[in-house]
Structure 1
C-alpha cells in the first residue's frame, strides 16, 4: 500500500516542479540565444520571467519542464516582402544546453547565408 502512495507523491512533485517554470539552465540558455539575435519585429518579447513554457515559440515537457521544441520560424513566407520580421544575428552555442530539444525551426529568417554551425551536430535529440 505504501508503494502507490510513493508514486502519487512522486507524480505530484514532478508536476509541481514543471509548474514552477522551465529548468533554470535551459531558461538561461534561451535568454543567451535571444541576446545573440536581432529581433526587429519584437517576436521574442514574451521571453522574460521564469516561465519559459509560456514564451512564444518554446514548448516544454509538462512533466519535466525541459525544453522540447524551439520554433523561431518567420511567419512570413517571403522574407523579401517583409524583411523586418526576420530574425538575424548569431545563434548562440548555449543552444547545446537544451539537452532534450527534439525540434528546432529557424526557417525563413535572415542569417545572411552563414553556414549551419558545426555544433548543431551535437544536438543529438533533434528529429
Structure 2
C-alpha cells in the first residue's frame, strides 16, 4: 500500500486540531493584552488572563497529550523545535504579551501608546 501524502495520519490530525484551538486562544490573548495595557495597573489582569489561557489550553489537550511523545519524535533537533513553535505562534505571541505586561516589561510608554 502506498502512503497518501495528501491526507494526514491520525496523530497529525489530532495535533493540527489542538494547535488550531491553542492558536485561537492566543488570538484572544493578543486582543486582551492590547486592551489590558490601557488600564491604569494592568499587571494583575494580565496575570489572570495568562493563567486562564494556560489552564484552558492544558484542559483541552487530552488527545494531544496521548500522542505528544511520538509527535515530538517527528520534529527532532533545533529546526524541528522551530517548526513546532511556529505552529503555535499566535499562542506564543499572546502569552508573551501577557507575561510581558505582568512583568512590567511592556508598558504603554514602551509600546509608544501614550503621547
Where relative contact order (Cα < 8 A, 6+ residues apart) is larger, the structure is 2
Answer whether TM exceeds 0.5 for this pair: no
Q: Indicate the structure with greater strand content.
A: 1
Q: TM-score, normalised by structure 1?
A: 0.26
Q: TM-score, normalised by structure 2?
A: 0.28
